Structure 1
């Protein structure tokens, strides 16, 4: 199974997701780190990603060939992450056939009702649980 972890700015959220996925699944899942910038990509690489790329074209091309896309909800919002997430990136991610496992962070002025306000480590644990559920449904 191929999992793309997408993050931008400093890459801290993507780094944490990558570390947790690597600990939980080891080499059974291939992690492709996609940064909106080189710093974010580098931090995810250091966290254990198998492959890494950064920039608009890399994200738009790679999301077509993964099974799961993970990251904060801002990866599907055009011009988020202080403008690093371009409209073209958001569209490519939304249109990708991959399952999306997104973390609801309310820094966008968007309010998603019905969700509890959990700390970041709890949200990452929930994401890993969802990947485990999706991974179990696939034949490897």
Structure 2
């Protein structure tokens, strides 16, 4: 079983979408941690059926060192992103964590990721969960995506 940290801020909408898809696809074959930059984001991700949740800079800095995969928008690697919710300490901890980072190319910050195709969030989450995350699960322990 792999441990996955889903990190989000503001209203937690991206993280909620990701967690719902992981739970729908893999059920109890993964342990999902909802790490919110604020309490609202964490609460929304917990409603999506994350196994555990924690909020704030210290929780994120501590927890990312204990997971196998980190999932979130590209903003989690940008200091002061999400209207200042992402701190430099969070960025440093996430970036230096040994966990594989699966990042969605969505941000409200003035960043252009060359080579990406603009797609709706549900399509990006489908690719993340069904193509990229499945590679980190032990062979034969996950359900195929539709």
- For the aligned pair, the TM-score class normalised by the smaller chain equals over 0.9
Q: Report the counterpart of residue 98 of structure 1 in structure 2.
A: 99
> Please, what is the CA RMSD of the aligned residues?
1.2
Paired residues, number: 138
What TM-score does the superposition give when structure 2 sets the normalisation length? 0.91
State the Cα distance separating 1:105 from its structure 2 match: 1.1
Q: CA offsets per residue over residues 84-111 of structure 1, 9 Å max, x none?
A: 0001001100000000000001421111
What TM-score does the superposition give when structure 1 sets the normalisation length? 0.95
Q: Report the counterpart of residue 55 of structure 2 in structure 1.
A: 54
Tell me, in whole angstroms, the C-alpha distance in 2 between the residues paired with 1:124 and 1:80: 21
Check the 8 A contact 2:7/2:76 in 1, yes or no. Answer: yes
Q: 1:57 and 1:106, CA in 2 relative to 1: closer, same or farther beyond 3 A? A: closer
Structure 1 residue runs of 5 or longer lacking an equivalent are none
Check the 8 A contact 2:82/2:108 in 1, yes or no. Answer: no
- Runs of 4+ with deviation above 3 angstroms: none
Check the 8 A contact 2:34/2:54 in 1, yes or no. Answer: yes
Check the 8 A contact 2:64/2:70 in 1, yes or no. Answer: yes
